[in-house]
Structure 1
């Protein structure tokens, strides 16, 4: 039996068609702000699963080990959407389900960003250092370090936010920590995009047509990941139980869809297919 006293819930979502289970791991409210969609959970597991199989095959075939962070990110996405499936079918009030899916889905794109950083690094090595604002090694070290810092801050903030809401406490401080991590990530990723654009612009005359097409597609994938990060920043700035976070359509269109587009673009335009091995 649960000893959590929820009292009279005055803020947050409680599904009238889904009574709260009497278990210790169930929050007083549904922290998502809705019961997660079964269809979206299935799509997430299926589409990221297909991408995982394809990326693993291309990774091994082309021996592009620098691109292996995509595999880690895809595994995390699958786990995240699997927990959303569990929440939709077993217990949407479950704090462990919420924390697990939130952690995996929030952190996974960091690994896709790292893969994109390696693409630019390899491109610079293949085309020429003189066209890039930073050396290939600096590209990796600076932006991966920025992502690590941003991710640690986000994980800390997200854990504190989940704990605060599940125990009906003020989440303001925890939300500000999460917001700071996201704001830093948005800023550092914008600087990376600027570096990418400057490199492609300066190297445009010496790049082959294939490399130009490849660079354009990678930029689209990069902007998709960036859109998702900006959405997370806006969602957090508004508040976890506010409009953006409590309507799954925003999650589907601005979290799920951009990342699906990015990983499948990077599947067809895999660097092992388009960049000469260096």
Structure 2
């Protein structure tokens, strides 16, 4: 034990390390998570879950059900951040579980966005879109799933490395690779999305309300902002500025996702998107 190097990273002087099995020698977050952020996350996403679930059932917008799954994941993730804040910030499984659920949740939000875009393309005409609706759905969902699997593997390996006092550089590079791939695939989607929303704007504004049109655009921007933050944070390196100050997490991970989820609750596609377009796209996907 005496020849082991001292722990490199953040140790909370006001929160002694229990030193039990499953505890890292340092706080992997780079800070002690705030209970306020954890509770706010649980409350805001729980209320959003109720709002989305009510409208999902009322308007029978089953194509948008992945939003429910994503919001539920966010609630679990922030619940484990609460455990880190109040029970032990050194507990590796708390860190990995909260990271898993908070990172995976936007994949379900993205799937819902891809589906809505496919429906909008169908409602305005294929001539405004560079790709067929079903291709947009399956290409970008596949990209998100692959990217997320790589990210989760990297995060888990980082936790194991810190727990065993080993160099976490390789796991961080794995995480970075997954984030870089996701950022690239979402950027391609943003380009296709922007092209369609601009070319079809006159037709779209006759099909959906102006409020929904701009809320949908802003929600996509918020999700991409969150992806860019995660990429920048990981590229900067472990225990650097972005990853060791919770204010960045709060303003560039937590806040953008909350805004996106609430925008799509206020201007819910089940209420704002024409039912005829929805039926046509659902039929097309069923036959794919």
Same fold (TM over 0.5): yes
Partner of 2:137: 140
1:16 and 1:5 map into 2 onto residues whose CA distance is 22
- Structure-1 residue corresponding to 2:285: none
State the match for 2:200 in structure 1. 203
Distance (Å, rounded) in 2 between the aligned partners of 1:163 and 1:28:
11
Q: 1:212, 1:186 → 2: CA distance?
A: 28
Please, what TM-score do these two structures have when normalized by structure 2? 0.92
Residue 283 of structure 2 corresponds to: none
User: What is the 5 A alignment of 1:179-190?
Assistant: 179-190=176-187
Which ranges in structure 2 are unaligned for 5 or more consecutive residues?
279-288
Where does 1:82-101 land on structure 2 (aligned, <5 Å)?
Answer: 82-101=79-98
* Aligned 8 A contact 1:204 1:212 in 2: no
Summarize deviations over 1:185-211 as a string: whole Å, max 9, x none. Answer: 111111111111111222123223544
C-alpha offsets along residues 201-257 of structure 1, whole Å, 9 cap, x if unaligned? 221232235444422211100110100000000011112221111100000000000
Q: What is the rounded CA distance, in whole Å, between the counterparts of 2:6 and 2:238 in structure 1?
A: 16
Which residue of the other structure, out of 210, 214, 217, is the alignment partner of 1:216?
214
Q: Distance in 1 between matches of 2:19 and 2:3?
A: 11
Does residue 1:233 correspond to 2:228, yes or no? no
Q: Which residue of 2 aligns with 1:264?
A: 262
- For 1:78, the equivalent position in structure 2 comes to 75
> What's the Cα RMSD here?
1.5
CA distance in 1, matches of 2:274, 2:3: 60
Is residue 157 of structure 1 aligned with residue 154 of structure 2? yes
Q: Say if 1:81 and 1:113 are closer, same or farther in 2 by CA, change over 3 A.
A: same
- Alignment length (residue pairs): 275
Q: Runs in 1 of length 4+ with deviation above 6 angstroms?
A: none
SS of residue matched to 2:243 = coil
Is 1:9 the counterpart of 2:6 in the alignment? yes
Q: 2:219 touches 2:260 (CA, 8 Å); kept in 1?
A: yes
Q: Work out whether residues 26 and 94 of structure 1, in 8 Å CA contact, stay in contact via their aligned partners in 2.
A: yes
1:192 to 2:189 alignment: yes
How far apart, in 2, do the equivalents of 1:131 and 1:116 lie? 18
CA distance in 2, matches of 1:165, 1:29: 8
2:7·2:26 contact (CA, 8 Å) conserved in 1?
no
Kindly report which structure 2 residues correspond to 1:96-175, keeping only aligned pairs within 5 A, or say none.
96-175=93-172
Q: Give TM-score scaled by structure 1 length.
A: 0.95
Q: 2:32 maps to what in 1?
A: 35
